[in-house]
Amino acid sequence: MTASEAETPVGGHADEPHQSGLNNRLNWLRAAVLGANDGIVSTAGIVIGAVGATSDRTAIVIAGVAGLAAGAMSMGAGEYVSVSTQRDSELALLAKERRELREEPEEELAELAGIYMEKGLDEALALEVATALTAHDALGAHAEAELGIDPDDISSPLHAAWASMLAFTVGALLPLLTMTLAAPGLRIWLTVAVVVVALALTGFVSARLGFARPGRAVLRNVLGGLFAMAVTYAIGSALGTQIG
């Protein structure tokens, strides 16, 4: 095995998550898919529950819009806090690695060579690879091998927050507009149909982003959404009867 082969990801595929910048893209794509999924399910649950309680279109719209606004803000803030914590941890680890490279270069070189030996290289070749990579980009080589972090691809909390918030809004608009614009006799079934299609799509996309088979993810997504709508409709019907 040559030094270049040691640096190549298993399978050698350029689209695997080893590309510079791919971590950030996957991060906000994940946030967007989850945001859209939550927007669809939570808003569908709200408007279905409202329909169970009342036939007043205005009340249904108000409930849906309130849920959309609150959910979008919550998703954006939650994603920002979560990814900011991840970013802080990554930066702290990189700072520690810089200090160790500056103060203990020989120990760090031996540690990197040891990592390549554990991957199957003999001692001489592992040391050769570690020396070459350290000379080219010491921090990048050590951070990726030891920490699994690309110093040029640190997570962005703003990207994730905006992606999550906007995706939640788009997802929430699907059941809200369907419920609002459909005729009273069709609104529930048409909303359920739109939600099922949308959840199947987000389940498929999330599975592909995670390099998993989509069938199970789609089924899980759709069944979860149907269960949520059934529960909220039952609660809305019970409350509407009691209040009425």
Is 211:71 a contact under the CB 8 Å cutoff?
Answer: no
Q: Provide the sign of the torsion angle of the four alpha carbons 5, 11, 14, 15, taken in this order.
A: negative
Identify the residue with better confidence: 240 or 200: 200
pLDDT of residue 21: 56
Q: List, in order, residues 6 or more apart from 131 with CB less than 8 Å away.
A: 109, 113
**Domain range list for the chain:** 22-237
Reference 233, options 66, 64, 44; nearest CA is: 44
Give percent above pLDDT 70 in the chain. Answer: 87
pLDDT band at 155 (very low <50, low <70, confident <90, very high): confident
Is 232:49 a contact under the CB 8 Å cutoff?
Answer: yes
Q: State pLDDT tens for residues 180-196.
A: 888 888 888 999 999 99
Round to whole Å and give the CA distance between 225 and 215: 16
Q: What is the pTM of this model?
A: 0.74
Hey, how many other C-beta atoms are within 10 angstroms of the C-beta on 20?
11
Does 57 have pLDDT greater than 70? Answer: yes
